[in-house]
Chain A
Amino acid sequence: EVRLVESGGGLVQPGGSLRLSCVVSDFTFSSHWMTWVRQAAGKGLEWVANIKGDGSEKYSADSVKGRFTISRDNAKNSLYLQMNSLRVEDTGVYYCATNGLPWAFDIWGQGTMVTVSS
């Protein structure tokens, strides 16, 4: 059974940095795009960034461009999100998800909470 486990969330002051990690098990990790999605409390889902299986292509939402960087380590079956210059509006639950089906996020992690507050 495919399993995704996120970590790295926490409380950080505005302007600070955090690095989220997502470890994926029982999945042909290097063959698939991976994605980060976030959700503010009581709000909807927002796509954040995605990365191709070999890491050669990356895309991110306008709201995080220039501040967040997605990366991966296929040897460790791990996905990362480096978040810099954090803002209060970046607060929320961050999910990683596999892109195992065409244009869809088929398996999700349980999420990790990021709180940006002074």
Chain B
Amino acid sequence: DGGITQSPKYLFRKEGQNVTLSCEQNLNHDAMYWYRQDPGQGLRLIYYSQIVNDFQKGDIAEGYSVSREKKESFPLTVTSAQKNPTAFYLCASSRNTLINEKLFFGSGTQLSVL
């Protein structure tokens, strides 16, 4: 089946620790995105990538880092600099970044602080 796979489903972070969220897609999409969702809120864009080895900051990039070494993979690292990391993290992809392109979402990762 084609789709986007996020792992793990639940993740716990200790203070001062960096953690990495995985996102893999087999849809052959060029564009990939990371969103953060807080309870009762919409989605806020953290980072996005239009092509391999290139990525752009979104609205709330501070405390996060990404890489795009392969077309299929777009991992997100939540660094210790992110002081309020507890949220639901969603990875998405689209064929490209043209304005009419719909997003396909992974199942999400719930990150909590111990």
Q: Is this pair of chains taken from one and the same complex?
A: no
